[in-house]
Amino acid sequence: MMEIKLREEFIKLGQAIKAAGLVEDGVEAKYVIQEGLVKVNQEVETRRGRKLVEGDVVSFEDNEIRIVR
């Protein structure tokens, strides 16, 4: 499982999957999120602006990202 360390109170979902290298750019992030291919804490999330905080787990394809402080 990959980890993304928060620099602020939260990171947006689209930024997180881009920072983790799971998508090439923000446009691709937007599409995979809107298509329901991304889960946050095991629930499908379609808002790319969803604020992720410490402890959240993002799943996309066979990858998982944990948000840490």
Q: What is the pLDDT of residue 43?
A: 98
Q: What is the pLDDT of residue 47?
A: 96
| Digit-coded pLDDT (tens) for 47-59 | 999 999 999 999 9
> Residue 48's pLDDT is what?
92
The domain tally of the chain equals 1
For 26, phi then psi, to 5°, come to -65, -30
Domain of 52, CATH number, reads: 3.10.290.10
What CA–CA distance (Å, rounded) separates 69 from 47?
Answer: 22
In angstroms, how far is CA 51 from the centroid of its own chain? 9
Provide the whole-model pTM: 0.93
Torsion of CA 31, 6, 63, 48, to 10 degrees: -20
Q: In the prediction, which pLDDT does 35 show?
A: 97
Measured in residues, the chain has a length of 69
Q: What is the pLDDT of residue 39?
A: 98
Give me the residues of the chain with pLDDT under 50, please: none
- Domain containing 43 equals 2-68
